Structure 1
Amino acid sequence: MADRKCVGKKYEYFLKDKLGSGTFAEVVKGQNKQTDEVVAIKIIKKSALEKYGDDILEQIQLEVKILKELANLSKQTKCPFINRIYEFLETANNFYIILEYCNQGTLYDQIKKVKKIEEKEAIFILFQLLQALSLLANNNIAHRDIKPENVLIKDGVYKLGDFGFASQKSLYKTHLGTFPYMAPEFFNSDSYNSKVDIWALGLLTHEVLFKELYYIGKSQYDVQQKILTKPYLLNDQKYKISEQLKNLLCKMVNKDQNARISAQEALADPIFDFCKHDPRYQNIMEAEQLNWDHLNKVDQIQETIVLQEQDTPIGGKKQKEEEEQQKRDKEKLIQEKNQFIQNGISSIKEGILDKIAGITLMVQLADYLYDNIQQVCRFEILYILKQATILIQQLRDRLEQKAILGKHDHVKIEFDSEIWMHFYEDISVFQLIDDLENQKNKMKKKYIDYVKQFNSFAFQNFPDNYQKVESIANLNLSKLIDIQLYQDQLFTKMQFLKQDSLKTQDENIKNQIQKCLLWMYAVYDYQKLCSGQLLNIQKFIKGIISNDLDEMKSCLIVS
């Protein structure tokens, strides 16, 4: 095709796939032809650099040097929060920087698109970027242009990118950056350190939370004066965030660079404790380990091929044989990778379908209780059905948003960002999302019908407690019931049914109660149930259908 361009032997791109552009560079979406991996290619035209002299060439070389050093450091420390460089290539007309492709755009795009980013999510974003700044500061590197446009998002992971202004010193003298994010020492001091990045990240977090630039003016001079004189205060009613986060932001946006908190100190703040145990973070770090393991394997194979090329004599039968062997090695690598991707996609689909079966199991229990003992389990029926309806809605939304699920969603789902990219290219995902929407609507209708029946029953038979009943059996399906309240209700009713089982002499009734108890126990901890950590869901369903209590018991995984 006419608009197809090649970069060396490994990379290609199409002119139409432009991701962004600047003064003397543009970024396009490309592909590694050897591995099929999607990459971002930063194209710097030499002709556009001529008027800037040698200084700009030195800065480009410095950017590449820093990116390569950070890639190596990220490998050692397992820090996935910096946009990774793969290669630097030069032709007669252009420089090419081959970078990791981030499929969800920039933080700037997200701020514009999303109505509001909640505090907890903003803290999670800040937590990731602070780890990037900590790695930079530990190696005397300053980014010097922290802003939402330079934070890239790949599969929900926030990565610091565009190191065009970066440098590596203990102290800096060149004053550059984007004015609303520049620290006071840019203007009132002869030198500064990497803490200018902390100031900028604090203001970036402010922008994420409140959709405003704190230091803004009619001119650059006006912005500069405000940065120097206007205190950073969060007393206004519009700044509705926790005191803990306010305190941290004030430590970051501190005009005294010596008193300003460092990235490492900020990460020790208890505000980030939940982030460290967040399944998303654990999945991110697992994926980073898997990614480096895979890259190391590819590097070893490619290194072997290079060594073979170096040892091959020119001409002759031996050279031809070794070239054929190299071709076979390359084809084998591609086949292994394709098989790895297909296995991963299959694992994802199996996990999602099993998770849906687990949620459906909750609905079936609600129906079972309604058909058999609704007079004593009215609230429990609503609790269970409401949780199931919201869970199916959340799963549908996450798939529509092309989110990455992990082992906490289901044990069969292995986290790998590249596999998820291929998974979401499959047309069957759209059908799955539609099916989930239909299931959610059926669950919602069932829940509303049950609510109306139970509210009517409560109004007629318990008028004094009707308000309490109404407050529990409401139609708000946007938020899960408090897990402790949910479990307390189920536990109480399980104890009640257990006592009934001990009293009755009728074996049929006793078996039905035992079946109900086993089922309620499974649904009691729905998070473990739906993730496959508690039981074999399909086998448990078979036990329910066949009324086989022993089969149901054998499915439970008791830790």
Structure 2
Amino acid sequence: MSKKTVGTKYEYELSNRLGQGAFAEVYKGKNKVTGEVVAIKVIKRSLLAKYGDDILRQIHQEVSILQQLMLSMRKTLCPFINKIYECLETSNNIYIVLEFCNQGTLLDKIKKSRKLPEDEAIFVFFQLIQALDFLCDNNIAHRDIKPENVFIKDGVYKLGDFGFAGQKSLYNTHLGTYPYMAPEFFNSSQYDGNQVDIWAIGLLFHEILFGEIYFIGNSQYEVSQKILNKEYKLGTQHQCCKEIRDLLPRMIEKDKTKRITAKQILELPLFKKFKYDSRYLEIEKKEREFWQQFLKNENNQTEEDIKKAQKEEEEKQRQEEEKKQRLAQEKLQKEAEQKREKIRQEISKIINIVNEMRNGITIIIKLCEFLQTNFSHICRYDIFYILKQGYQQQHLLKEKLDAAQILTKEDHQDFEQIGQEAWDYFYQNQEVQSLLADIEHDRDQLRKDYVNQLNYLNNLTSSQYNGYLQEFQSVSDLDIANGIPEQLFLEQMASTATFLNSELSIQHEQKFQQLLRKAIIWILAVAQFEDLISGRKVNISKFLRCIDSDQVDEMKKCLYSQ
């Protein structure tokens, strides 16, 4: 919901944010009754908590001072102070509705033009000194007068940002902005708030007249030392009328007891012509009209209306907070479900890849069966070698899965696409436990086939190929789980493929040629068994289908290296 209401009269859009601070945001809003544009400061209590109770007291003090000034303005008009219209507090936020100044700040103006023409500077100063006199009459000190705290609305200059303001005779808290701080901030334990405001507004007047900050340095310490020790003096470069040349040193006077007051300044003839200036008379006229309308609207709003509006606002905030929490919870649940679904899909993918690896091992074992059926006499030892390599791959896969290892692209190229989270849940999946049992069964069966082939070859070698017995036993005695040395295996496969290829050249029976061609392609695929099972050299699923359907030419197409 982008539109927000404050009380019964004010509203704002979240898209119309003017600025943001540590614990507050300021929005451009409007009075729904009059259509007047306003500034609405939204202070979030949740952000105030980390600053402690002092900051909350300071906010309440600022609001209290502004409200007191509003009451005083009903009796004595002062258009030169940024007005507060309403303060509404709920359990979540504090809303302060202020007068909207549509032309920025005096600092913005200084940045553009550096300094103002003398008459314009005097007119600006005339407005601000009236604001200062009004504060003095109400025993209020601003304590942070500087160009960025002077706001401009339709050509009228207004003193604003009363965050450091206070209401007592003497102060001992040293605060403000260094180039505008009076000497007593640094050399006295107590000071008069109205006196330090005169010093600050004098320096501000100097700045808009001459385009310079008088007390400036590379550090706060250097600035403070200049404020304490550097004499305020206007040189030949400071061109201005005699009245100003006489006034400024009386404001920027290090002896606070000799410093001129706001009321004394207003009595000077310097401002005589501005009191009857058409611009000034128009400002007074608009201010009277404002208060007539403001009081009329205020009289139409009862205390019951205000309480009702506050209650409605709290209810809205409660509902919005509940909605926000509900949406956040729904989002978390949706994200959790999406995460679970993604993990389920990836676990399913891992299972499919592992089964693809098993198919690669199946290609190795099926080759043994094929050779046993068609070339048993010439490939007895090849069958043994291939069985041993097949068992090694089956054993290696089972050992990795039993150890709950994360398989990588070295095991199969498609594992590169699997995220870490999927592996965290993979080994807890019931389907995976069933898969491990199947692999265990396959390994046990393959071991039996291997042992049967080993016994058969031992007997055969002892009885018919005794001269080859020692060489065969050196291979057969190797640990079954370690397979056969790669070079020895490649040499055996290459020798067998060469022999079968020579047979192919002298055989003319088409059926036997087909068997030879199938055996040669198959052996080439199995020769590099690790690349076969990882899917790097062979399209495993397609190769297996081609074996079963006896599509020899298609088998060859499945070899990526061909």
TM-score, with normalisation over the residues of structure 1? 0.53
User: Are residues 112 and 259 of structure 1, via their aligned partners in 2, closer, same or farther at CA, if it must alter by over 3 Å?
Assistant: same
How far apart, in 2, do the equivalents of 1:90 and 1:43 lie? 10
CA distance in 1 between counterparts of 2:251 and 2:299 reads 43
Once the two structures are TM-superposed, the CA of residue 115 in structure 1 deviates from its matched residue by 5.3
Tell me whether 1:269 sits opposite 2:264 in the alignment: no
Say yes or no: does 1:12 pair with 2:11: yes
Q: How many residues align?
A: 308
The alignment partner of 2:207 has SS state of: helix
**2:71 partner amino acid:** N
- Give the SS at the match of 2:274: helix
Q: CA RMSD in A?
A: 2.1
Residue 158 (structure 1) aligned with residue 157 (structure 2) = yes
Alpha-carbon distance in structure 1 between the residues aligned to 2:214 and 2:161: 23
Partner of 2:106: 107
In structure 1, stretches of 5+ residues that fail to align are: 311-559
Find the aligned partners of 2:14 and 2:186 in 1 and give their Cα distance: 41
2-side partners of 1:171 and 1:285: how far apart?
33
The residue type equivalent to 1:107 in the other structure is: L
Find the aligned partners of 1:20 and 1:270 in 2 and give their Cα distance.
40
**Is 2:44–2:94's contact at 8 Å kept on the other side of the alignment?**
yes
In 1, the alpha carbon distance for the partners of 2:240 and 2:22 equals: 38
Alignment match, 2:197: 197
Matched, 1:208 2:208: yes
Q: Secondary structure at the match of 1:17?
A: strand
The structural deviation recorded for 1:153 is: 0.8
Instruction: Identify if the C-alpha distance between structure 1 residues 196 and 116 changes in structure 2 by more than 3 Å, giving closer, same or farther.
Output: closer
Letter in 2 for 1:223: V
The amino acid of 1:207's aligned partner reads E
SS of the residue aligned with 1:272?
Answer: helix
Superposed CA deviations along residues 5-49 of structure 1, whole A, max 9, x for unmatched, are: 333443222233222333332322111223322111112222222
1:67 aligned onto 2:66: yes
Aligned residue for 1:141, secondary structure, equals coil
Structure 1 residues 285-300: aligned runs within 5 Å:
285-300=284-299
Q: 1:110-121 counterparts in 2 under 5 A? A: 110-114=109-113, 116-121=115-120
The answer (yes or no) to whether the contact 2:104–2:152 under 8 Å persists in 1 is yes
For 1:6, the aligned partner's letter is T
Q: Which residue does 1:171 correspond to in 2?
A: 170
Distance 2:74 2:113 in 1: 33
Map of 1:69-84 to 2, 5 A cutoff? Answer: 69-84=68-83
Alignment of 1:322-333 (within 5 A): none
Q: Is the 8 A contact 2:29 2:37 kept in 1?
A: yes
Q: Which residue of 1 aligns with 2:125?
A: 126
2:58 matches 1:45: no
Return the letter of the residue paired with 2:149: N
Distance 1:94 1:74 in 2: 28
Q: How far has the Cα of 1:304 moved from its partner?
A: 10
Equivalent residue of 2:171, what SS?
Answer: coil
Determine which structure has more spread, i.e. the larger CA radius of gyration.
Answer: 2
Of stretches 114-123 and 141-150 in structure 1, the one that deviates more from structure 2 is 114-123
Residues of 1 paired with 2:23 and 2:239: CA distance?
Answer: 41
Give distance in 1, aligned partners of 2:143 and 2:22: 18
Alignment deviations for residues 113-167 of structure 1 (CA, whole Å, 9 cap, x no partner): 2354101111111111111111111222110000111101111111100000000
CA-CA distance at 1:288 after TM superposition: 1.1
Q: Distance in 1 between matches of 2:115 and 2:228?
A: 29
- Extract unaligned runs of 5+ from structure 2: 310-562
* Aligned-partner residue type, residue 95 of structure 1: I
Structure 1 counterpart of 2:237: 238
Q: Matches of 2:155 and 2:56 in 1, distance apart?
A: 34
* Higher mean displacement: 189-198 or 15-24: 15-24
Aligned to 2:458: none
**Aligned mates of 1:207, 1:108 — CA distance in 2:** 10
* SS state at 2:209 partner: helix
Aligned mates of 2:56, 2:302 — CA distance in 1? 30
Classify 1:115/1:149 alpha carbon distance in 2 versus 1 (closer, same or farther; 3 Å): closer
Q: Percent identity?
A: 59
Change (3 A) 1:130 1:290: same
Alignment pair present for 1:224 and 2:231 = no
* Aligned residue in 1 for 2:435: none
Secondary structure of 2:256's aligned partner: coil
C-alpha distance in 1, partners of 2:104/2:7? 26
Aligned to 2:147: 148
Alignment partner, residue 371 of structure 1: none
Counterpart Cα distance in 1 of 2:139 and 2:152: 25
**Compared with structure 1, are the counterparts of its residues 5 and 259 closer, same or farther at alpha carbon in structure 2 (3 Å cutoff)?**
same
